[in-house]
Amino acid sequence: MERRKAVHTVVSLLLLICFTLSGCHGATRPHVIFIVADDLGWNDVSWHNPQMITPNLERLARNGVILNSSYVQQVCSPSRNCFMSGKYPYHTGLQNGIIRPLSPRGMPLSVTALPQKLKEVGYSTHMVGKWHLGFCNWKYVPTFRGFDSFLGYYLGAEDYYIHTRDAGYDLRLDDKVYTFPNGTYSTYVFGQRAVDVINGHDPATPLFLYLPFQAVHEPLQVPKKYEDMYAHIHNYKRRVFSGMVTAMDEAVGNITRALESTGLMENSVIIFTTDNGGPIVGGANNFPLRGAKATLWEGGTKGSAFVYSKNLMNKTRYTNTEMIHAVDWFPTILHLAGATPDPTTDGVNQWATVSEGAPSARTEFVYNINDIAENAAIRVGKYKLIKGSAGRYNGWYPPPTVDSDLEVDSSLYYQRRNDTYRLYDIEADPTEHFDLASQLPQIVSMMRDRLENYRKSMVPAGDLPDDPAGDPKNFGGVWSPGWC
Query: d(Cα 172, Cα 197) in Å, to the nearest integer?
Result: 16
Give the per-residue pLDDT at 24: 34
Give the fold, CATH level 3, of 31-362+461-475.
Alkaline Phosphatase, subunit A (3.40.720)
% of the chain exceeding 70 in pLDDT:
92
If one compares 424 and 7, the residue with the highest pLDDT of the two is: 424
Segment 331-385, tens digit of pLDDT: 999 999 999 998 999 999 999 999 999 999 999 999 999 999 899 999 999 999 9
Give the mean pLDDT of 218-235.
97
444 sits in the region (left: phi over 0; alpha: psi -120 to 50; else beta) called alpha
Q: What is the mean pLDDT of the chain?
A: 93
Give CA 289 to chain center in angstroms.
18
Q: Which of 48, 91, 126, 132 is catalytic?
A: 132
Looking at 8, 31, 48, 76, which residue is catalytic? 76
Check residue 128 and give its pLDDT.
98
Examine the pLDDT at 414 and tell me if it is beyond 70: no
Q: Compute CA distances 462 → 103, 107, 127, 345, 384, whole Å.
A: 10, 10, 25, 19, 27
Residue 415: band (very low, low, confident or very high) from pLDDT cuts 50, 70, 90: low
In the three-class reduction of DSSP (H, G, I as helix; E, B as strand; rest coil), residue 57 is classed as helix
Is the C-alpha dihedral spanning 392, 397, 399, 401 positive or negative? negative
Facing residues of 424 across strands?
384
Q: Is residue 76 among the annotated active site residues?
A: yes
Q: Are 36 and 72 in contact (CB under 8 A)?
A: no
Per CATH, the number for 370-455 is 3.30.1120.10
30, 40 in Cβ contact below 8 A?
A: no
- Give the lowest-confidence range in 116-120, 126-130, 458-462: 458-462
Model's pTM, two decimal places?
A: 0.93
What are the residue ranges spanned by the domains of the chain? Answer: 31-362+461-475, 370-455
Instruction: Give yes or no for a cis peptide into 288 (omega within 30° of 0).
Output: yes
Q: How far apart are the first and last CA of the chain?
A: 49
Q: Computed from CA positions of residues 21, 25, 31, 34, in that sequence, does the dihedral angle turn out positive or negative?
A: positive
What 8-state DSSP symbol labels residue 469? G
Give the lowest-confidence range in 21-35, 134-148, 380-394: 21-35
Average pLDDT rounded to a whole number, residues 398-409? 71
**5 pLDDT higher than 60:** no
